[in-house]
Amino acid sequence: MITATITKIQEKESYSRYKGIYYLVYFKDNSNNKMCYTYIYPKMRNFVRWKNILKEGIVLTGLEIYKGRLINADSRFTVVEKEK
């Protein structure tokens, strides 16, 4: 589990089976300053947890690394700090 800050959010168009838009969210791991990322799809169930905190500067804890630097979008995170 890591604590990380949202640094950038890009809205993109999906051509996969989910069709529509998705968000590519970049984070900075607060323990080692490495970049991480995740994909957030508004059509997925987990979007309820993400929709109100998709803002740069938000600090989240409890994020799980899925593979490499990819964060599991199903992580049960907690907001540590809102943007200033």
**In this structure, are residues 45 and 66 in contact, taking their beta carbons and an 8 Å threshold?**
no
Give pTM, 2 decimals: 0.89
Domains in the chain with CATH codes: 2-81 (2.40.50)
Higher per-residue confidence, 69 vs 16: 69
* pLDDT tens digits, one per residue of 39-83: 999 988 999 999 999 999 999 999 999 999 999 999 999 999 775
* pLDDT for residue 81: 75
